[in-house]
Amino acid sequence: MLMLTVVTLCLLVMAASSEDKALSSHAATMADNSASLAFNLYHTMAKEKDLENILISPVVVASTLGLVALAGKESTPSQVKAVLGADKVLDEHLHAGLAELLTDVSNSTARNVTWKLGSRLYGPSSISFADGFVQSSKKFYNVEHSKINFRDKKTAMKSINTWMSKSTGGKLPEVIKDMERTDGAMIINAMFFKPHWHEQFHHKMVDDRTFLVHHSLTISLPMMHRTGLYPFFEDKDNKLCVLSMPLAHNMSTLIIIMPYHMEPLERLEKLLTRKQLDDWLSKQEEKAMAVSLPKVSLEVGHDLQKYLGELGLTEAVDKAKADLSNISGKKDLYLSNVLHVSALEWDTPGNTFNTSIYSSERMKNPKLFYADHPFIFLVKDNRSKSILFIGRMVHPNGKKMKDEL
């Protein structure tokens, strides 16, 4: 009897530890808020002329906002909450929730993806960081602190790029070429994300194809191909397709929203809301699909300072009004840059799968999903429903083929 109890207990303990712990309610709230932030920020950025590719991690942006709230006095923490749609949330719940969310979704081992992430706060060489701030920002947001002398801009840029490259295992070599403002506090996020497919692409099913950037620019790039069962929805009224590709162990999903034909993405972006996306996803059905995707690394750097200001973080970014004196004890800093730099590698690796599916009737006549023109994509976390990445691939790296029409 006793033996049996012990065995049962052991089994229970094993079951509990192998199962994912549920997120706390504070973290779940932040996951939800950061998903709304994803769409707001994307739309703010998409208005910018001349901006081609977009790549942001809303959960990381949310944690950056949390860091700004830690740094700021006056109304900055309440502006942070307003941008996050978390006006009623207490400070300690905000920080604890954001910290838990970030730790949870960025755990590469548990998530079976490759996600390297470094965050650093740079201050001018004259600054001395307050101990309390250093400790709390490290504890909640895993931020490093560093001083930098921008009088020697070239050396400063080099040192930032070296740190970014180191934080991402060499995946972000010299993405930041120049900086406009160098006279305040800079927050820098450096990230490398590599989706690990639920079902891998065959590494040999890759060849050179063309990608239509716009009517007068076609480039050549490698494309990977595979056939499988994927959740898919074709919105005939809006002439677009929505494909979901599960990442390893179905813990997250890459969602692609692509117009039928090459066109500027404005039309789709006008449709893109959180509600609309949920609607599309709810209408998806599992279909046999022949999927072709660019096999490229998308490396994008954004300075989010201006966009966050547009979303309501007006005080911290204003040199005359900012009070970030929790950083050093002095009111001598404003938020001059929020550099958000990421590389997303679209590649073939993933988990192996049961190939007997290919002989089944369902796989006959798969539908084509041929991503050879600009599209919008998201990586959505299955458990917290937070959005790990949102972006658009408009102009991937490739060889230019023709330039005029």
Ligand X SMILES: *[C@@H]1O[C@H](CO)[C@@H](O)[C@H](O)[C@H]1NC(C)=O
Q: Rule CB under 6 A: which residues touch ligand X?
A: 70, 73, 103, 107, 109-110, 112-114, 132, 136, 196, 198, 231, 246, 248-251, 326, 351, 354, 356, 382-383
Shortest Cβ 45–ligand X spacing (Å) = 29
The burial of 22, by beta-carbon neighbours within 10 Å (0-12 exposed, 13-18 middle, 19 or more buried), is given as exposed
Q: Please, what is the minimum distance in Å from the beta carbon of residue 243 to ligand X?
A: 11
For residues 35 and 248, which CB has a smaller minimum distance to ligand X in the complex?
248
CB of 4 to ligand X, least distance (A): 29
Nearest distance from C-beta of residue 325 to ligand X, angstroms? 7
Q: Residue 158 Cβ, how far from ligand X at the closest point, in Å?
A: 31
- Closer to ligand X by CB, 296 or 327: give it: 327
CB of 8 to ligand X, least distance (A): 23
Q: How far is the CB of 59 from ligand X (least distance, A)?
A: 15
Angle at 141 between CA 139 and CA 146, to 5 degrees: 90
Name the residue nearer to ligand X (CB basis): 237 or 285: 285
Q: Which is nearer to ligand X, 5 or 354 (CB)?
A: 354
Decide whether 246 or 396 has the Cβ nearer to ligand X.
Answer: 246
Residue with smallest beta-carbon separation from ligand X? 110
Please, which residue, 113 or 257, has the CB nearer to ligand X? 113
Nearer to ligand X, 247 or 300 (CB): 247
